[in-house]
Chains A and B, each alone.
Chain A
Amino acid sequence: DADVTQTPRNRITKTGKRIMLECSQTKGHDRMYWYRQDPGLGLRLIYYSFDVKDINKGEISDGYSVSRQAQAKFSLSLESAIPNQTALYFCATSDFISGQETQYFGPGTRLLVL
């Protein structure tokens, strides 16, 4: 079984709709992240959480919100989807050992906003 799972894997929605992407992990990590990937831009951080009570905005948080329901669950919401939010979304967890962080990614959610 995968350590980091994302649902749905693919989603098509219309402009203005609210949509939620979910992420679950079995790695026991406190840190979780949401990224989006666009062609030629690499990975850009949307939100991150270092524990259940800690939520932080990333580089591109406008138009998004998150909820950390438990250590293992971190969901991303698009309150009113717009076409330029069409992208590949990744959830990640990380461990932080001896001052060094390694992130582990889910398989991604491909989102199309029409």
Chain B
Amino acid sequence: DQQVKQNSPSLSVQEGRISILNCDYTNSMFDYFLWYKKYPAEGPTFLISISSIKDKNEDGRFTVFLNKSAKHLSLHIVPSQPGDSAVYFCAANPDSNYQLIWGAGTKLIIKP
């Protein structure tokens, strides 16, 4: 049973528009969430994170929103750029366990 779900395998967005990637989780004990970005032939790289004590964290063009009651987080990229085309993974850090739990990833394609 997947504890972290990214239900959209892929997403296509026009350059300059907003990209919204979604992630749902099932365990209310998760207290820290991360987004990673992965290019082909490279390892995932850390992008942005959020603690459960916050509902928003912003870093430049990237903003992560956390809705604890809905067990949902989203990553907003605005404006989207061609270099944002990659696979994005959502991950959660359980309070009692230091292993990250990973979603299956969403492939973002930015169209020129």
Contacts and interface: CB of A to CB of B under 8 A. Distances in A.
Most buried by B among A42, A58, A99, A100: A42
Contact of A107 (B34, B43, B99, B102): B43
Interface of B: 6, 9, 31-32, 34, 36, 41-46, 49, 51, 89, 91, 93, 98-100, 102-105
Interface string A3-31: 01000000000000000000000000001
Given A42-B89, A103-B34, 7 more contacts: A42-B102, A43-B102, A99-B31, A101-B32, A101-B100, A104-B45, A105-B45
Q: Please report whether the interface of chain A is mostly helix, strand, loop or mixed according to DSSP.
A: strand
Given A40-B9, A41-B104, A108 B41 contact: yes
A101 to B, nearest CB: 5
B41 A43 contact: no
